Amino acid sequence: MTPVEIVLVYQSLLGIYGDRGNALVLRQRLLRRGIDATLTVVEPGDEVPSTGSLYLLGGGEDAAQISAVRELKADGHLFDALDRGAVLFAVCAGYQIVGRTFTVGDHDEVIDGLGLLDVTTRRGSERAVGEVLSSWTRPDGTESLVTGFENHGGFTYLGPDAAPLARVEIGIGNCGDGTDGAVQGNVLGIYPHGPILARNPDLADHLLERALGHELDPLPMPELDELRRQRIEAVRKSGLRR
């Protein structure tokens, strides 16, 4: 069987918050199930492969966002991969650039994004910094909590073609409207990083199942479940509801 290819896009531009860990988590969760998986790391100037099953974009600063958009548009292969049915997961700055527009700098210059999500981002009324806790709905209709750390100055607003990925319990998320992230087709974005998938195995498996086109066998990890329970309890006790 051909290995599942996970593609980490522009680590040096969009990887300053440890978001490379998302790729490592995804690969390990496949390998522990006996599914062969490879990790391809693509840097600016490299050709983005169109053969991947799952693509990842991480967080970065304003200049990195502009450079990443320019490079990805010129390369074009990410768009080809998505047309073929691949999945894209983008966090923080990566989430902003896959939208229609985002703003940068003191003068809020409007930059055209990749146009993969019907969202727009502009400077928010406050900076969102701190733990964020939200919930998303699994394909079977059950709820799963998402825990992470948000640190973003932009507020993101969803258009009619994008649906919220999660509902916020604690934190700001997209723009303080009770939502975080967006999903449209096989493109998913959300704000928490750090990396988010190390904290949220259900979300990691959801991405893998979307990329593979079938459900995965359970992967029990009691120690991870206990760490999640403790973290969620601590966030709720902190009283950081905004």
pLDDT of residue 235: 92
Residue type for position 233: E
193 catalytic residue (yes or no): yes
Q: Is the pLDDT of residue 63 over 70?
A: yes
- Look at residue 241 in the predicted model and tell me its pLDDT: 47
pLDDT band at 40 (very low <50, low <70, confident <90, very high): very high
Q: Which domains does the chain have, with CATH numbers?
A: 4-123+154-164+174-220 (3.40.50.880)
Catalytic residue among 175, 193, 206, 214: 193
Of residues 92, 152, 175, 206, which has the active-site annotation?
Answer: 92
Mean pLDDT of 62-79: 96
What pLDDT does 15 receive?
Answer: 86
